[in-house]
Every structure is written in C-alpha cells, then in structure tokens.
Structure 1
Amino acid sequence: MTEKRDYKDTVFLPKTDFPMKAGLPQKEPGILARWQEINLYEKLREARSGREKFILHDGPPYANGDMHIGHALNHVLKDMVVRTQSLLGKNAPYVPGWDCHGLPIEWKVEEQYRKKKKNKDEVPAKEFRAECRAYAQHWVDTQREQLKRLGINGDWDNPYLTMQFESEATIVAELLKFATSGQLYRGAKPVMWSPVEKTALAEAEVEYEDITSTQIDVAFEITESPIPELVGAHAVIWTTTPWTIPVNQALAYGPDVEYVLATIEYDFTSSMPEPADAIAAELIAQIKAASKGSRAHAVIAADLVEQFRSRHAGYVQSQVAARKMPPGTSFSITTGQIFKGSDLAGTVARHPMHKLGGFYAAPRPLLPGDFVTTDSGTGLVHMAPDHGEDDFDLCKAHGIEPKFVVEGDGKYREDWLWLGGQGSVINPKFNAPDGPILTDLKEVGALLSASTDYQHSYPHSWRSKAKVIFRCTPQWFVPMDMPNAVEHIDNRAEGRWENEGGAQEPKLTLRQAAMQAIADTRFVPAKGRNRIGSMVEGRPDWVLSRQRAWGVPITLFVDRKTGQYLNDPAVNARIVESIRTHGVDGWDEEYAADILGPDYDLDDYERVTDILDVWFDSGSTHAFVLESGRWPDLQWPADLYLEGSDQHRGWFQSSLLESCGTRGRAPYKAVLTHGFTMDGKGEKMSKSKGNTISPLDTMRDFGADIIRLWALSVDYTEDHRIGPEILKGVADNYRKLRNTFRYLLGALDGFTEAERLPVAEMPELERYGLSLLGELDAKLKVCVDDFDFNTYTRALSDFCNEDLSAFFFDIRKDSLYCDAPTDTGRRAYRTVLDTLFHALVRYAAPVLVFTAEEVWGTRYPDGDSVHLLEWPEVPAADANNDRWDALRALRERVTEAIEPFRREKTIRSSLQAEVEVPASAVPEGFSDEDLADLFITATVTRGQGDGVIVKPTDMAKCGRCWRHLPEVEEDGDVCDRCETVVEGMEAA
C-alpha cells in the first residue's frame, strides 16, 4: 500500500508567542514597572488634554493598616469608572487621597507608648502629633504601593493627604466659612460619647450591635397631682439604662396615652425564714406604707399593664427563690380609674433616693412628651437630660438644665451625692441586679422588676468596639435648622456654584439645602437617595468637636466675657496662614498672640483646644482637591463620588453638609455605592473566624487581574462573596478570555492591510459576526453610562465564549486553516478577526489591565500602551440576525444529537456525521452545503420529521482538511479545494 503524504506543513495553523499559561504574579510587576517608566498617567493626561472632563473624586481611605479586600473592590471599581470614561475619549484624571487624622491613628501611637510604659499626656503635644503624622505617612506609603500593584492608574506621585499643610489650612478656612456665616455655635447637648476613647463620636463612627441589657421598673412616688387619688401612688417607669436613674430630673407622659391607676395587692401567706432579709423587709415595708396594708398603687399606661404584670411576676418569683421574699408570696393587679395623659399636667413625683437630699430632694415634674409610646415599657419615661436627646429637649423646654454628672471616662463625678466616683456606667456588672444602683433602689423599696434578658440593638464605637453612651457636654455644633443659613444653588446647572445674578431662591436651612441637593443628585443604585435622605432628614445638629490631640484644630478665639467667638477677617486670614506654614501646630499657644494681632488682648480670649471631627476633614476634600488648582485637570463639582454603602452616613453626608453649608449645593453630580464583601458562605469576614481573604495573598497566588475580574463580575450594588472556590471560577473565566485573545493573535499572524476586505464584499456569516459585535458595543456603552460593570464583564465574557469560540471561530477554523491566503472567504474572516481584536482588547483593557497590555504588546511590540487608546469604531454590517439566531438554535440541536455518538465513540468528530434536520426548522436562504459548513458535519439533508437524525458517514476523509467529501476516493487523499491550494503553494 502506498504511504499517504502528510499535509501538516500546508495547513495555515495559528502562530503566536502569546502563552496559554498567564503567569500573572510574575508578569504583572514588569508591566507595572514599564508603565512607571513611561509615566503612563501623564501620557494619558497629554493625550486627553482639552477633551470633555469626567471627574471621579477619590474618597480617602484611612491610613491605618494594609489594604483589605474592601479596599481592593472599591479601588478597582473606581479604576474601572476612570478607565471606561477615558476609553470614551474623556479627560478622566484620578487623584488618590488618604484620610490621615483622627482617633484610630492616635490610638495606635498611644498603644506604642503603653508598650514602652510612657504616658501620652507627659509627651509634648507637638512631639506626639509628629509621631501620629509619621505613623500615618508610613501607612500611606504602604497602601499606595499595594493599590498600585492592583493596576490602579492614578497620580500616585502627587496624592492628596488631609494632613498636608495646605489641606489642613483649607479645612480651617472651610470651618471659618461656617463661623463667618453664623453657622457655628457652642452648646451643651447630649452626644454619642465613647468612655473608652474619651471623646464625642459622630453617627458615622458608630455601629449597632445586638446586646443583652438589664431592664428595670422603678417606682417614683407621686407627691402632688390635680388628680387627688394619685397622691401617694407611684409613677412606674421602665428603662434599659439603669445608670441614668442617678441623673433623673423628670418623668414624661404621652398626652394622648390612656393611663390607669392600678392596684397591686400582695399576699404574704408566710413569714420570712430566719434570719429575715433586710432588703426584702424594707421592700415589704415600702409596699405597705405606700397604701393600706399590703396594697400599692401604680400609674401605668392601660395598654402596658399586662407587660408590667409579667415583668413584676418574674421579679417576685426571683426574690422568693433568692429568699428575699417570703415563700408563697403572690400578687394580683386590678385596674381602676382611667384618665388621659394630658390629665397628668401639674403632677409631681419624687426621686426614689430623695432621702439623700440636695439634687435628689428636688421635685420631679411629669412633663408631656410626644415621643412617649405604648410599644413597650410602662408608658412613662424617666428623663435624664444629660443622657438623651428627647430628654434634653423636653427638659430644656421646661427650664431644666443638665448637670454634667458623668465624666469622660464613664464614671460619676467624685462630688455626686449618689455613687460619686463610681462606674464605668455602661459596665454590665455596674447595672446588674446585684450592682450598686439596683441594690440601692431595692433598699428603698423602689425596684419593681429587674431582669438581665432584654435583647436590643445598641450603639458601639466602630473603632474600639466598646459601647457608647449619650452624654451631655459642651461641644461645637453646626445647626441643621437655622433659618436663612444657606443660599441654595441649583444643582442641575452644570458647574455653576457661585451666584451669577438674576432671581435667587430664598435662603434655606442647612437641612433644606441638603435635602434639595439629594433630590438633584443621581444615585446608583437609586435606593441610595432614600437612604441618605432619611438620614439627613432626621439627623441632629452636626457635632464638630472632638476631645483629642491628632487632628485639625477648631481655630476659634472665644471672648471670655460674652462667650462669643471672634469673627474678624484679618484674624481669620492669619489663622489660615499659620496653619499653612506650620500645619496643625500653627494653632499652638506660641502663635496665638501673633495670630490675634495688635487689636486684641490674648488674655481676653479663650483659645479653643478641641479638634475637628475627622468627617469634617474628609467632607472638605472637595475644596482642597477639586478647587485648589494643584491638580489642573480637576474641576468642581465632581461628576461622581464612589464608596461603600456605609458612607451614606459618612463621607457622602459630611461632604454634602460641608458643601451645602458653604456653597449651597452638593460637591457631586452622582453618587455610586457598593455593598460589602462576605466570605464564600455569605458570612461577614472576621480575623477571629479565619475567613478573611487577603488581596495581597490573592495577587501573589493568582495575580491582580484575577482580583479585578472578580470585583467587576459581582453585583457590587449588593453584598457579595469571595472565597477560594469563587476565585477558582473567576480564574477559569479568565482563562477563557485569555484563550480568545491567544486565538486572535495566532489567527492574525501575518495579517496586513492588503488582505483587508470591505464589509460589503464579505459573506453573510462575517457580516453577522460584525453585527453581533455592534450589539455588544452598544450594550457596553450603556453599561458604562449606568456603571453596570457586572453586566459589562459578563457581556464581554459571553460574547467571547458563546458568539466567538463556540460559534464563529468554530465554524471558520476550516477556512482559516485550509483556504488559500487569497481566498475571499478567508480574507473576510481575517478582516473580521482584526476588527474583533481591536475592539475586544479595548473593551477588556479597563477590566484586565495587565493582560490587555500583554495582548497589545504581543501584536504591536513597538507600539504605545493599550491604555492610551479610545473606544473602537465598529463598522456597520447588515445581517438578518433573527435568521441567524434561528440557525444557531438548530445548530445546538444538531450538536446535542451528535453527542451520544461521540460518547459511544461511534463518531469521533462531527465531521464524520451525516445529519438529517427538520426542513421546517431551517431558515430561508441556506443550502444543504451551507448547513454542512455551519454545523461542521459531512452532510446535511432535510427531512419531514421533527427530530434530528444522525448516522456515521461512509465518505472518505481528506488528508489535509479532514472533511468527509464525495470527491475524496479514499482516506488520505485530498479534496478538490485542498488540491488546488497545495498546488498553488508548491508553484509559489
């Protein structure tokens, strides 16, 4: 038998040096170094100079610790925004920044002191601040390198820091704008206070955790009332904060609530076992003294009598079990006289500890409170204006002032009559049934229930994780509802933020201006508007002051006689200049006299030593980043702010309030929020659980492009997941995308402009491929406009996998490998491949920043960076897409019908299959030969049945193209097409 010729060397197989194995962890640092060498960021600025701008203002991460997975997701999203806008041809600069002041950094430096057995208070303030500055700079430098490793393209050599002297000076200047406009006051109001960190906290610095507290019912004896029957009865209050009872000054009732006078009748059927318990004896004596014999009378909301009965029953049972009440003690409650809360006007009670005299001997008035409900408790609320916002407002309206009883460390003042010097007040043991407060209340017979099983949500400092309290202290505030505070500027006027003449809206309160700005801002997702809107609508005045050392000072001089702060433009200018020259140290005592100047005597003024809430720092970044001119490509307002959803109460809101208070509108046109990253099971990540995913480890193991592909594949608008299995799936998707580019590079080997074919001369399949590309192009543009990167990435992957690899590439590999280079069909295919390459590498560049650069550099080794390119121009192509979609559906049926034969190895390749398809399923315009090419089968015929029939072919196989064709006499011979191509090659 004659040996058949091997035609391998005549087949045009793809050729490329682009490796299938990515090796990203090893390859990416080299690409990053090249970008730095060519200064890619500046080259892009030059390329987009003079173009329409798109400004994403970077919300500053905190300079404290390594980058975590939340940082990675956040910055990849920002980079995707900037890169896609740049791809559209816009000038989209990115200036990264860091938040550098505040308690967490101060706390870490103090920790270092404690390890060295040093006391922070014994270190000069300037020296301490210098250490805080150095600590922050260390983490800025660390995080900067980590973020650069993610492929984030930005002005890394010139970031903004809130601790830069110029930034600090601008923050001070912004504060003084509030002072100049009168939007600043010092007042004593309850604020959230951390006894552990000894400072006031903003709402954004607080997180809510479920805890179990002690709940108690306490009896306040009524001494005066317009309802005679109430005198001698007890107003019963319920609270979950026993530590506030020592600071009680009044009781509140609901004017429209229905109350009853309830009689509590006790049955002491036996005597106390000897020796008698002194506390129980006092309780029984108090009960008997309260009315007649063993009766007591209590004022309780009618709807809450049963709740009280249940709590009191549990308490009596616990006292019997503890041998503090006689065995068999029982009680009953009957309700008597009913009256409205408004009838309680003029009623006065006395504090359970009234025998201590002084503060406790003063009468406790019952006051009307609209906030009193019958959801729980007793319908009567005890008022401690030191420790509650409603308490403060109601008491102040009736001339009752706070007493500033609890110190910054959470202990009662040393001179306080009851429990002076004791605490910490939020310690569970301090509030427990055997703690000092409840023990003393038992002794005077005022405790009617106590249990430690009340579960509820409670605020904690998100830094120290310790519980916070409401504490009334003198603080500096920005009022939310001061009339005529803000001249609102229409947010919809592009770039307009100063009055330009013409009719102006009336001045608004800061709350009104902020709510209007929220209405005018685009939110992605849209639910963000309601979230921030509800927060601003109900938020209290903005507490600006903090009692710490590391931060921007509240640069005010307060007249010691009048209590008014000095408002002198010349002094304000010197304040700003001192901070610009010396940083925050410029507010130290040594500069005070020079700042005040010759017109004022320093002895007449108090120099405020509080520092600013760090949210005011970050809320002012729009002023010293977008407006300063330090970054000429930036402009105010920003097109977009992008952060996690927690920033509705943080940076989004502080920036909104700061800008509305000084400029009358938001500093942004749109706000985008993302959810939080959970582990693979959907659980919150925690070091203690060991379920954290480090982006640094992931980049080391997989590469940065894998993290980027993950971040842009998840639905970031909701909480989302990451874990080893998820990352494996992402890596698999990456391999498919990489193989698409590898195929394109190989298939385009040697392609020149001379080979290009006009669209009009192309076969319909090529035109259909271009039409699909056009659909993808339009879809991706919508995704960019909607910031819908999950859909963007999925659409790109689906197009490569389904439209190209599984369909277009699969069908045309025969033409690519076996047609002559001059063949019109092959030229058309390679022309489309070139168009696909230029489009797909651009689409992929914002997602897979390193891989796209590698792809581009492989084809154009002497070319510039792929990231300087703009959005591709996709040629228009006419194709009957509905007809092709129907054909693809039929093709899938054929593939499924062949698969069992493959598994049984009756047929090893679809080229060996002869297929009969339903004639009714074949779209118009396709011959049987067309169908055989498109289905990659030996033959296709049409039948009258509904199913697809498959059988192995008897035709011989071409030794070059491997197709089974009638003109091939025996296996190994070549078909007519291949014979012509081979002859042409030999002749050449």
Structure 2
Amino acid sequence: MNKTIILQKPISDIRLNKEQVRSIEKRWIKEIKKINSSSRKKYTIHDGPPYANGKIHLGHAINKIIKDITIRKKIFLGYKIRYLPGWDCHGLPIEIAVGSNKSNNEYKSYVQSQIKEQLSGFSELGCINDWKNYYMTMDSSVAKREVKALFKLIKKKKIFTKKKKIDFCSKCNSTLSEFEIEKEKINTLIKMDMLKLSDKKYILINKKNNWGIVTLLKNNSILKVGKLVKIRNIKNLTNSKRIKIRITKIIKKCNRHNTRTKILKVRQIYLNTYLEKLPKKNIKFFPKSTKLKFINSVFNRPLWCISRQRTWGTPIPIFYNKNKILESKKIKELVTENLHNWKKINLSKKYSKFKKCNDITDVWLDSGLTHYSVLKNKNFKEVSFPADLYLEGKDQHRGWFNASYITSMLLNKASPFKNLVTHGFAVDHYGSKMSKSKGNSIHPIELINKYGIENFRFYIATSNYFNDISFSNEKIKNKIFLIKKIKNIFRFIVTNLKDFKEVNIKLKNSLLIDRYLLFKLEELKKKVIEEDRKFRYYKSFEIIYKFLNVVLSNLYISSIKDRLYILRKESKTRRFCQKTLKIILKDLLIIVSPYIPYTSDMLFRLAFNKSILFERIKKRKVNFTKEEKKIIKKTIEIRKKFNSIKENNKERKLLKIYVNLRKKHISKLSQELIYFLHNYKNIIIHSKKLKLKLKDANIHLKCNRCWNFVSFLNKDICERCLLITSGKKISERVFF
C-alpha cells in the first residue's frame, strides 16, 4: 500500500563548505554590479571610515553586517545601492606605530598594509560589497576637497585663529579636541577659609583666586550651594576659620594615554560650531531615544580646535598674521593643487608679516568632512549627497555623527544624512565592553571558524543591535537551533515541489486554507516592511519566525500532508497545495535572505533555477470573503480546543462545537475538517444541523493507507482510498 502514497525523497541537508561560500560570494559581487548599473531608484549609505590601524574586532563585524542586511533588504524593495567602504588614515596612533617625523610615503605604506589586513577580515563577513573599491581620507582627491571645504569655511568666517586656553597632552605633544578627552569625577579634600555671615549662612573663600561660595554648612558638610561671588577686599576679611572640605572635582584626561591634560594658552585654528536649530526637513533617528543625545552633542559643544601639532595628516594650508588669515584666490588655487608640497611652499616678501601654519587637521575633521570630500566628489560615482543613511556605533554621537552634521550644516545648510541609526557595542556575557586590555575580546574570525559564517551573521542580524550585543557560546547555540528549524521547513517544501507542474492552476479557485495562508503571507510582508523602515531587523525576524512556526508549520503544513501524500498526483486539490507552497517558498526565501543569505541563495537556485538577488518583494491580491474569514477563524478555534482537550483532559469522550455558519457550508465543512485536524488521530467528526460533535475514535477503524478513522474498511483501507487507488473520481475539496 505504501507504493500508492506519494513520498518524495527528501533533499539533502543544507550545509556549506568554504568552496561553496566563496563561489556564492563571487557571484554576489557580479550580481550587485548588475543591480547597481540598472535604472532602479538609488539608496545611499555612507560608510563611517574605521581607523586604519590594527585587526578588525566584533564592533566592526556588527557594523558591517548590519549595513549588509540593510543593503540586501533595500535591494529586495527595488533599490540599487550606493555604498563605498572607507578608511580613516591619519592621526597619532599611526605616527606612534611608524615613528615621528617620518616621510609621508612611510606613513602611507603602513596605512595601506593595515587596510589590506582589515580588508582580509571584512571579506570574511559575507557582505555583498566590492571590497576592491573604497575611499581613504589620505587620497589626494579627498584631501583636496577637504582643503577646499576649509577655504569655504574661512570665507564664511567660521574658521579663525586665536590665542586661547586649551587642553594639551604632554605625551601627544599636541592640543586635544573634545573627542579625545575623557572626563573623570574624583573626590578630594581642599582647604578653605570659612567666614560666618549668620547662623545659617557662611562664605567659603579660596584666597588664591578671591572667589567665595555662599553656602549652608552643617558639620563641615555642604548642605546647599548658593551664588558664587567675587570678594573684593579679601585681605581685610577677619574672623575666618581654616577648614577642610570634601568636594567632587572633574578632571580631564587624554583618552589615548590616560594622563591628565594641561591647560595652555597657545595660538590654534578654531571652527565656530554654533548652529541655530535642526533643519526643517526632519532627520529620522533610530532608535528614537538617540535624538536627544544627538541634539545635546551638537548644540552644546564648545568651539572646535581643529589644529594639531603633529606630522601625519592633512595640512592646514593657511598663512596668518595674529588673528587674521590671509585670503587670496591665487594662493588658494596654488595650495590646493600642490597640497603634497605644502612644506615647500613659501610666500614672497610682500607677505612677510604672515606666518605659515605647519599644523595638520584634527582627524575628526578628515572623516567629518567626507560628506563633502567623498559624497560630493566626482571621482566617487558610487555615492551621492545627501546620504539616505548613516549607521554607526553609539560612541559616534560625539564623534563622526557630530563632526559630519556640524560641518555639513555650515557648508551645505543641510544635514548629510536623512536617517541616523545607532547600534550598541559588543560585550561579553557579563555585559562588559570587550577590549584587549580586559582580556575578554573575541576575534570575529574565531567565532566564524567555530560556528560558520551564516550562524555568526544570523546571531548579529537577529539581536537587538540598538542595545549592546552580548556574545557567549550558549546564546549563539540557541540561535543556531532556530536556523535548523527554519531549514527543515524549507526542506519540506522544496522536497514536495519536486513533481509540481504548473498547468492551468488559478489561485482564485484554490482551497480556503490555501488562500488563507496567502492572505497571512501578505500580512507578514507588510509587517516586515514596516519594521524594516524602523531598522528593527530583530523585530522583523520575530514576526517572520512566528509565521514560519505557528502559521506555516503548525497550521498549514500539518494539515496538507493528506493532500500531498494520499491524493492522486494530478489531483487539482493537490496541485493547489503545491502552487501555494511554491508562492510561499519564493516570498519567504526573499524575506529571510538577509538573515540566512547562503541557505536562501542555494534553495532559491534549487527551486527556481535563478538568482535570488534579482527578485523583489511584491504585493499579491488574495480573494478572501468575510464569510471565509469567519470559517477559518472558527476552525482555528476548534484546533486550539482539540489541543487543549488532548493535553489536559484525555478521558473526555465527547465535545460539542456550535458553528454559526450557513447550512450549505456545514456538511462540506464537517467532511473536510478531519483533514485540517489530521494530526489528531484519535478524533472523528459528525455533523447535525448547525453543530459539530467530536467523538472519541477508539470505537472506529483506522485506514492503513491514510490513517484516518472510519466506521468501515475494505481490504484494510477506507472507501476514499479505494477510489483514489482504483483511479475513480472523488469530489474536490473546498476548505481543507
């Protein structure tokens, strides 16, 4: 009897070896080039340049993989992608590694070696980028554009030179920007003179600077701090008492050397960072809570000292006399075109009063100006201004986000980005930020070698990256279990489509359960797109997985096995089921592809014999009446009730369910409901008027072919199976 049952040979388990991974990745790069050369609408992602020093870490992996997921999701919505990876190439760490006062060629050579090593790591992350094309802040075309931006800001009176007190690091031998300073609170005891004004009011006096704090004291502890007042005749104050007061003091440290900064009054080059307000065209912040953090970082920062007394960097090619910067069109053109020879350029005796600036720019200005030096650079056709998206770690609110926004508003009167997405850090299972000094860091390649690239990517893709992402073996293994379950669902579908022939199959005539699944699929696509617009990819996956597990697997697949295995191969009822599965497979593979790109690619080529990257998420109209919605809703309730009885009350012999439906539906529904409840083998169904009675099946006989329970068997099989095997016609189903 098993020979008459249609059981397809399952497709082999989907496992990836390194050769397959590399083959798929090479094809992706070719396909993305075709997509990006098409007439599709463009979507620009600007890459915040990582520092070209050291190996990649998990923070890099999080950033690049989230960007790659975004790229894939946008491709499936019909966009072509404008994305160019970049590197930040200047600064002190490179000077320290190479040595001070070396030639530019020596620094460049070191930077290129570091980029090569980082490229090797990035290429292991499964991104569909062409890593051969990238920008560097040390590119001559980028540096020239940066200098042009400086001259524009000078013309706008936004850049000026002045002697001013500023933080200085002795070990760096240079001034520091706000980005390079860490503030630390310390408790300390200080000696002050206390002068009693009344029973409650005292003045605490610091004789060094003649300032006094009107204060409420109790047992030498400050209860309330009042106004700060200038004491004019400090020497004439008598009856004061010397006391020790414990205060909280804020000290500044160089974040590179962890040493306290000095305050020096020296001449530096400054950028006036004052902005009035956010532009009228609102920027979208993800998560929304980061908007206030961004506003505070941008609108509450002091003047920006953009000059550094270092060797390796973009020169500030200006001449100045005290507070005046020389502005000359000829000099600007000469300097811009001969930037590499800035050290050799000198002015004639006519400008003898003007001094040459030998400083370089702050590296944050290099990267901050890439909206002008890269996005608006004709040499980089891959990108355009403004970017649709800036996506970086949460530390960039006082770094790249800040520098980019301020300089763009000053130069372009527009934000360089439309959407600003902030992700968290990589932390260990205790929640501590990973670092080499703590000894808790894990190299991404180590995890990729251990768990595989797809599992590693999947863990990041399905994590709430708006928060810090905790990496531990247990958490990664739990996520791998989800992938196995998803693969099994897809394997079932692909296996049961092996003999499918699409001949005159119109979905409007398909069964109720088929159209219900397609209706739920359209709901799923809509919800996923809504979450993706908010960059909540972890939420999108939760919705996808719920559909896969609850709707597709538990509800649909469990109820269609009778149609797939028992009915005749060419039965319309069976073909409707296969057509539905094919549509579901295609759409779901596209939707889950950003999360499991390799598996999706392989299965799509196996099932449809073409590449998944050229596909799009499309809307599909599904005919579904109110009455049909009512029927399916009621039958799902029946399933839940069955399940409850089976688990909680196994001794119960009878269940009555009243169904408020039209009479014409009741008879047919009662006949077909058994297939919808196929996994409940111990129950059969009777109908009478407008109610269904569900009785214990132990008093009935089990068909040896379809395993349904009936009151009569012929040669160990039921009447329906006898008709199927003999080739005689049986009635087509309507509902299930």
With the shorter chain as reference, the TM-score category is: 0.7 to 0.9
Query: 2:141 matched to 1:152?
Result: no
Partner of 1:956: 701
Residue 22 of structure 2, aligned match among 12, 23, 29: 29
Partner of 1:366: none
Q: Counterpart amino acid of 1:56?
A: I
Partner of 2:7: 13
Deviation at 1:949? 7.8
Partner of 1:306: 218
**Could you say what secondary structure the match of 1:149 adopts?**
coil
**Could you say what secondary structure the match of 2:422 adopts?**
strand
Give the conservation status (yes or no) of the 8 Å contact 2:143–2:314: yes
Aligned mates of 1:870, 1:669 — CA distance in 2:
24
Instruction: Tell me the alpha carbon deviations over residues 899-933 of structure 1, each in whole angstroms, 9 at most, x when there is no partner.
Output: 4799xxx9xxxxxxx97434147877553333221
**Could you say what secondary structure the match of 2:554 adopts?**
helix
Structure-2 change in CA distance of 1:164 and 1:915 (3 Å): farther
Partner of 2:657: 919
Residue 205 of structure 1, aligned match among 158, 180, 193: 180
Deviation at 1:448? 3.9
**Could you say what secondary structure the match of 1:55 adopts?**
strand
Aligned mates of 1:704, 1:889 — CA distance in 2:
41
Partner of 1:709: 458
Deviation at 1:603? 5.1
Deviation at 1:463? 3.1
**Could you say what secondary structure the match of 1:960 adopts?**
coil
Aligned mates of 2:74, 2:382 — CA distance in 1:
14
Partner of 1:381: none
Residue 511 of structure 1, aligned match among 275, 289, 295: 275
Residue 587 of structure 1, aligned match among 337, 342, 345: 342
Deviation at 1:126? 4.5
Deviation at 1:541? 0.7
Query: 2:676 matched to 1:934?
Result: yes
Partner of 1:60: 49
Partner of 1:179: 154
Deviation at 1:614? 0.8
Query: 2:233 matched to 1:347?
Result: yes
Deviation at 1:823? 1.3
Q: Counterpart amino acid of 1:134?
A: S
Q: What runs of 5+ residues in structure 2 fail to find an aligned partner? A: 729-736
Aligned mates of 2:106, 2:656 — CA distance in 1:
81
Give the conservation status (yes or no) of the 8 Å contact 2:500–2:575: no
Structure-2 change in CA distance of 1:952 and 1:340 (3 Å): closer
Deviation at 1:131? 3.2
Partner of 2:390: 641
Aligned mates of 1:764, 1:635 — CA distance in 2:
49
Partner of 1:449: 244
Q: Counterpart amino acid of 2:133?
A: N
Deviation at 1:528? 2.2
**Could you say what secondary structure the match of 2:41 adopts?**
coil
Partner of 1:473: 266
Instruction: Tell me the alpha carbon deviations over residues 941-960 of structure 1, each in whole angstroms, 9 at most, x when there is no partner.
Output: 5799x999874524333333
Give the conservation status (yes or no) of the 8 Å contact 2:697–2:709: no
Give the conservation status (yes or no) of the 8 Å contact 2:188–2:249: no
Query: 2:558 matched to 1:810?
Result: yes
When normalised by structure 1's length, the TM-score is 0.67
Counterpart mapping for 1:305-454 below 5 A: 305-306=217-218, 309-310=220-221, 346-348=232-234, 448-449=243-244
Aligned mates of 1:653, 1:957 — CA distance in 2:
72
Q: Counterpart amino acid of 1:797?
A: Y
Aligned mates of 1:462, 1:752 — CA distance in 2:
67
Q: Counterpart amino acid of 1:965?
A: V
Query: 2:341 matched to 1:575?
Result: no
Give the conservation status (yes or no) of the 8 Å contact 2:124–2:445: no
Partner of 1:188: 163
Query: 2:183 matched to 1:215?
Result: no
When normalised by structure 2's length, the TM-score is 0.88
Partner of 1:628: 377
Structure-2 change in CA distance of 1:978 and 1:66 (3 Å): farther
Structure-2 change in CA distance of 1:885 and 1:690 (3 Å): farther
Aligned mates of 2:500, 2:467 — CA distance in 1:
45
Counterpart mapping for 1:158-307 below 5 A: 158-209=133-184, 212-219=186-193, 236-237=204-205, 250-253=209-212, 301-303=214-216, 305-306=217-218
Give the conservation status (yes or no) of the 8 Å contact 2:486–2:548: yes
Give the conservation status (yes or no) of the 8 Å contact 1:24–1:702: no
Structure-2 change in CA distance of 1:943 and 1:449 (3 Å): farther
Counterpart mapping for 1:842-853 below 5 A: 842-853=590-601
Deviation at 1:62? 1.5
Give the conservation status (yes or no) of the 8 Å contact 1:60–1:98: yes
Aligned mates of 2:293, 2:634 — CA distance in 1:
46
Aligned mates of 2:39, 2:19 — CA distance in 1:
37
Give the conservation status (yes or no) of the 8 Å contact 2:684–2:697: no
Instruction: Tell me the alpha carbon deviations over residues 276-328 of structure 1, each in whole angstroms, 9 at most, x when there is no partner.
Output: xxxxxxxxxxxxxxxxxxxxxxxx5232x326x259xxxxxxxxxxxxxxxxx
Aligned mates of 1:179, 1:975 — CA distance in 2:
91
Structure label with greater radius of gyration: 1
Instruction: Tell me the alpha carbon deviations over residues 449-502 of structure 1, each in whole angstroms, 9 at most, x when there is no partner.
Output: 377xx666654433334444554432211123xxxxxxxxxxxxxxxxxxxxxx
Structure-2 change in CA distance of 1:550 and 1:890 (3 Å): farther
Partner of 1:462: 255
Residue 750 of structure 1, aligned match among 481, 499, 518: 499
Aligned mates of 2:697, 2:249 — CA distance in 1:
72
Deviation at 1:751? 2.2
Aligned mates of 1:543, 1:882 — CA distance in 2:
69
Partner of 2:732: none
Counterpart mapping for 1:719-758 below 5 A: 719-754=468-503, 757-758=505-506
Aligned mates of 1:570, 1:882 — CA distance in 2:
80
Instruction: Tell me the alpha carbon deviations over residues 690-729 of structure 1, each in whole angstroms, 9 at most, x when there is no partner.
Output: 4434321221122222232222222222334232111111
Instruction: Tell me the alpha carbon deviations over residues 377-425 of structure 1, each in whole angstroms, 9 at most, x when there is no partner.
Output: xxxxxxxxxxxxxxxxxxxxxxxxxxxxxxxxxxxxxxxxxxxxxxxxx
Instruction: Tell me the alpha carbon deviations over residues 551-587 of structure 1, each in whole angstroms, 9 at most, x when there is no partner.
Output: 111111224xx552221111111211113xx3xxx32
Q: Counterpart amino acid of 1:170?
A: R
Matched length: 711
Give the conservation status (yes or no) of the 8 Å contact 2:435–2:441: yes
Counterpart mapping for 1:882-893 below 5 A: 883-893=631-641
Name the structure with the higher strand share: 2
Give the conservation status (yes or no) of the 8 Å contact 2:686–2:694: no
Query: 2:722 matched to 1:979?
Result: yes
Residue 31 of structure 2, aligned match among 24, 36, 40: 40
**Could you say what secondary structure the match of 1:302 adopts?**
strand
Query: 2:436 matched to 1:694?
Result: no
Partner of 2:90: 101
Aligned mates of 1:15, 1:630 — CA distance in 2:
55
Give the conservation status (yes or no) of the 8 Å contact 2:186–2:251: no
Give the conservation status (yes or no) of the 8 Å contact 1:25–1:701: no
Aligned mates of 1:169, 1:133 — CA distance in 2:
17
Partner of 1:402: none
Partner of 2:734: none
Instruction: Tell me the alpha carbon deviations over residues 599-625 of structure 1, each in whole angstroms, 9 at most, x when there is no partner.
Output: 665754422111111111111111122
Give the conservation status (yes or no) of the 8 Å contact 2:211–2:228: no
Q: Counterpart amino acid of 2:292?
A: N
Deviation at 1:749? 0.9
Partner of 2:515: 767
Deviation at 1:757? 1.9
Aligned mates of 1:237, 1:25 — CA distance in 2:
73
Partner of 2:79: 90
